[in-house]
Amino acid sequence: MSADKPSFQAAGAGNYRYAIVASRYNKKYVDSLVRDSIDRLNSCGVDAESVRLIRVPGAGEIPHVCNMLAETDNYDAIIALGVIIKGDTIHDEVIAYSVAAALQNIALSTTVPVVNGIISAGNEEQAAARCTGALKRGAEFADTAMEMASTAADLLDELLETRQECENDEK
């Protein structure tokens, strides 16, 4: 993961509903991501009632809950937060790849943006730098969710109009 950060547009962020699904595994790092995400959402005008936090055992369980939340159509963006640290086997790679693919599939199969905030670190120092250090990836993931909620809302209106036109043409 690069140290580079894009610029974000959070206009109208307070008009949307967000869900955060966060792992309890590697708790000290994930708790920092959660705190920074919620702080950023709040600082951009999102009130506490518009953010739902659900904790799950590990990163592998995050996609299941994200999928269920996306299917409810109650959220404008979902933020998945977890930390996977390399161990002695390739288990970290298996989890990281499968979770990333599952989160992308959820976003593509629904109209709900799912932000992949799963940090895959080679060691504790890398995890700390991204979660508790100056990089503040949790805030960045919240920024992404706010911008994508707005973008998706704009595109959803366009998509619905197109579908309506197609239905009218078929009649």
Q: Distance between CA atoms of 168 and 21, rounded to whole angstroms?
A: 39
Buried/exposed 7-38: b ≥16 CB within 10 Å, e otherwise: ebebeebeebebbbbbbebbeebbbbbbebbb
Q: Distance between CA atoms of 111 and 99, rounded to whole angstroms?
A: 19
Element containing residue 102 per DSSP (H, E): helix 91-109
91 part of the active site: yes
Set 68, 91, 94, 101: catalytic member: 91
Which residues are designated catalytic? 91
